[in-house]
């Protein structure tokens, strides 16, 4: 039986199994899901075990556990470490989901659910590819290791310690990660760059109590006025980040980068249509691919304060909050960027308000040279399955641990993604196109065999 027939005849069973994992609401950011995190880790461990992995173990951490498993019986062959994550993003606003986020539903050949593509669906491909190889060939063409964590969506605070502590066990010639996307349907891509990330929470406080806007309005500081003034000051009229020194360490745009972007033939018109936008928006002088691939950004992810209910409430709220993340490129230092933003905010606070800044995550940007043979072979594997050789792209997202994995394990990181750009990651109606579920299994098999 060839692999295509094998995967086809097992497809229903596989999707049912994946459905079990997806049904566990393993939201790492919300502490009430602690027991779901453990259930998801156990499910992954069982699944690795059933696939034929050995030494399967759940390692507790100060946060959520890490699942490990290996099959290392291919002397002389390279060792591949598959990294992925079983945790998912929160699901609000819940009312915008067309089917419940933790009830996997197939519509239009797409699997809808939180985690369908990011990243439960994609780690599942690697487990089932390994299982298939052991079923059909009775052996693996490489030494294979799995390291599946539960804190990727909260920037992997505990994985770096685990990597350093278990450096020998995890040693590999290549780190294989499926947590990125094709360029568009039928056009595979291998990500050779990820932006770094830093994040912060900003709180503004004024009086010691909420005040009536009739009695006090106009005469006391309003925390919301102070906050929107601060937040609006973070960008200038050209869409640039207005924090002094923010762009330190950002590489110049070169002709080479311009050429690479040109080659992608990306359609901004198509994107505008998909998102129902009259126009895109961003830093003046750059297109969408440059803005999201090689330029840094500062985004407001949440702003809130005062009355949010039905109707009117004439209140001057005593506090207001914002959540901010930056995407970083080149040599931008996350700590330095956080400090500069904090100083910027502090310097222009309106009278009568107190500012509190909580610095949260910090991760550097990552890049890899596309000429690395481990990447070239990955591009070949895509070509065999998709009929099109993968392009080398830079992704605007951050998988902070990629830079750490590559540095600690001294191995190239191959980002072999099977998602699509519009699959609503981190948003309502996340989904995974099943065409790439099928082709992903085959591409992984091809790749492992080619090494």
In the region spanning residues 48 to 87, those forming contacts with a second copy, defined by CB under 8 A, are: none
> For a second copy, which residue of 101, 188, 396, 440 counts as binding (CB under 8 A)?
396
Q: Candidates 4-12, 97-105, 292-300, 330-338: pick the segment binding a second copy (CB under 8 A).
A: 292-300
And the tokens for 336?
Answer: 């330095």
Closest C-alpha to 118, from 423, 440, 445: 423
Residues 366, 280: Cα–Cα separation, whole Å? 26
* Residue 303 in contact with a second copy, rule: CB under 8 A: yes
- Token reading at 135: 């079923």
* Residues in region 1-20 near a second copy by CB under 8 A: none
Give the Cα separation of 154 and 296 in Å (integer).
20
Q: Is 64 helix (H, G, I), strand (E, B) or coil?
A: coil
Nearest approach, Cβ of residue 272 and a second copy (Å): 9
First CA to last CA distance, the chain: 22
426 touching a second copy, by CB under 8 A? yes
Give the residue, chosen from 300, 331, 343, 410, that forms a contact with a second copy under the rule CB under 8 A: 300
CB of 289 to a second copy, least distance (A): 8
- Measured CA to CA, the distance from residue 74 to residue 432 in angstroms comes to 33
d(CA 72, CA 55): 10
- Only one of the segments 12-20, 126-134, 168-176, 201-209 lies at the binding site for a second copy (rule: CB under 8 A); that segment is 201-209
Give the Cβ contact number of residue 2 at 10 Å: 9
Residue 327 and residue 195: Cα distance in Å, rounded? Answer: 6
Single residue of 55, 109, 265, 301 touching a second copy by CB under 8 A: 301
Query: With respect to a second copy, which residue has the nearer C-beta, 100 or 157?
Result: 157
User: Which uninterrupted H or E stretch holds 143?
Assistant: strand 143-149
* DSSP category for residue 141: S
Query: Contacting a second copy (CB under 8 A), which of 75, 209, 252, 256?
Result: 209
195 near a second copy, rule: CB under 8 A: yes
Choose between 116 and 227: whose C-beta lies nearer to a second copy: 227
Stretch that binds a second copy, among 45-53, 66-74, 199-207, 380-388 (CB under 8 A): 199-207
Q: Which range, of 69-77, 301-309, 335-343, 383-391, touches a second copy by CB under 8 A? A: 301-309
Q: Which of 99, 105, 135, 292 binds a second copy (CB under 8 A)?
A: 292
Compute the least distance from the CB of residue 200 to a second copy, in Å: 9
Residues 361 and 355: their CA atoms lie apart, in Å, by 19
Site for a second copy in 353-392 (CB under 8 A): 360-361
* Integer Cα distance of 41 and 130 in angstroms: 19
Question: In this complex, which beta carbon is closest to a second copy, that of residue 116 or of residue 142?
Answer: 116
398 belongs to the binding site for a second copy (CB under 8 A): yes
Residue 46: how many other CB atoms lie within 10 Å: 13
Rule CB under 8 A: which of 94-133 touch a second copy? 96
If we measure between CA atoms, which residue out of 388, 393, 413, 390 comes closest to residue 401?
Answer: 413
Of 208 and 371, nearer to a second copy (C-beta) is 208
Phi, psi at 83, each rounded to 5°: -110, 140
Closest approach of a second copy to the CB of residue 338, in Å: 13
String of DSSP letters for 392-450: EEEESS--HHHHHHHHHTT--EEEE--B-TTS-TTSTT-EEEHHHHHHHHHHHHHHHHH
Q: How far is the CB of 332 from a second copy (least distance, A)?
A: 13
Selected from 2, 95, 255, 310, the binder of a second copy by CB under 8 A is 310
Contacting range for a second copy; rule: CB under 8 A; set: 75-83, 92-100, 132-140, 401-409: 92-100
317 binds a second copy (CB under 8 A): yes
Give the per-residue contact string, 267-286, with a second copy (x = CB under 8 A; - = no).
--------xxxxxxxxx---
Phi, psi of 66 (to 5 degrees): -110, 135
Q: Give the H/E segment covering residue 58.
A: strand 54-59
Stretch that binds a second copy, among 163-171, 212-220, 380-388, 407-415 (CB under 8 A): 212-220
Sign of the CA dihedral with 420 first, then 296, 234, and 203 last: positive
Select the span of 74-82, 108-116, 217-225, 370-378 touching a second copy (CB under 8 A): 217-225
């Amino acid at each position: 039986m060839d692999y295509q027939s094998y995967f086809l005849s097992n497809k229903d069973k596989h999707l049912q199994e994946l459905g079990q994992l997806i049904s566990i609401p393993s939201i790492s950011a919300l502490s009430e899901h602690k027991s779901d995190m453990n259930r998801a880790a156990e499910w992954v461990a069982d699944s690795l075990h059933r696939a034929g992995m050995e030494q399967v173990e759940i390692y507790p951490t100060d946060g959520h556990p890490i699942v490990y498993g290996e099959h290392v019986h291919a002397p002389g062959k390279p060792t591949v470490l598959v990294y992925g994550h079983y945790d998912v993003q929160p699901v609000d606003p819940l009312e915008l989901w067309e089917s419940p986020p933790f009830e996997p539903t197939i519509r239009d050949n797409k699997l809808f659910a939180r985690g369908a593509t990011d990243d439960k669906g994609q780690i599942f491909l690697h487990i089932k590819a390994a299982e298939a190889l052991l079923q059909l060939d009775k052996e693996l063409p490489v030494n294979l290791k799995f390291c599946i964590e539960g804190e990727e969506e909260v920037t992997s605070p505990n994985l770096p310690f685990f990597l350093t502590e278990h450096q020998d066990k995890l040693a590999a010639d290549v780190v294989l990660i499926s947590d990125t996307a094709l360029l568009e349907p039928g056009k595979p891509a291998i990500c050779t760059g990820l932006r770094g990330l830093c994040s912060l929470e900003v709180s503004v406080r004024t009086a010691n109590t909420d005040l009536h806007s009739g009695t006090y309005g106009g005469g006391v500081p309003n925390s919301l006025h102070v906050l929107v003034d601060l937040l609006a000051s973070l960008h200038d009229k050209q869409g640039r980040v207005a924090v002094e020194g923010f762009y330190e360490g950002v590489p110049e745009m070169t002709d080479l980068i311009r050429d690479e972007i040109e080659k992608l033939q990306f359609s901004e018109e198509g994107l505008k249509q998909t998102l129902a936008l009259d126009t895109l928006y961003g830093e003046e002088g750059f297109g969408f691919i440059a803005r999201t691939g090689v330029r840094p950004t500062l985004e407001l992810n949440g702003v809130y304060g005062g009355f949010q209910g039905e109707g009117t409430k004439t209140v001057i709220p005593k506090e207001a909050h914002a959540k901010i993340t930056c995407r970083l490129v080149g040599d931008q230092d996350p700590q330095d960027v956080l400090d500069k933003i904090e100083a910027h905010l502090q310097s222009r606070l309106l009278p009568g308000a107190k500012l509190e800044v909580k610095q949260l995550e910090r991760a550097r940007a990552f890049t890899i040279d596309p000429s690395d043979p481990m990447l070239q072979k990955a591009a070949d594997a895509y070509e065999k399955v998709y009929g099109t050789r993968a392009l080398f792209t830079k992704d605007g997202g951050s998988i902070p641990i990629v830079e750490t994995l590559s540095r600690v394990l001294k191995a190239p990181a191959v980002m072999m993604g099977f998602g699509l750009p519009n699959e609503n990651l981190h948003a309502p109606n996340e989904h995974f196109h099943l065409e790439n579920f099928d082709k992903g299994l085959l591409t992984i098999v091809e790749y492992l065999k080619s090494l």
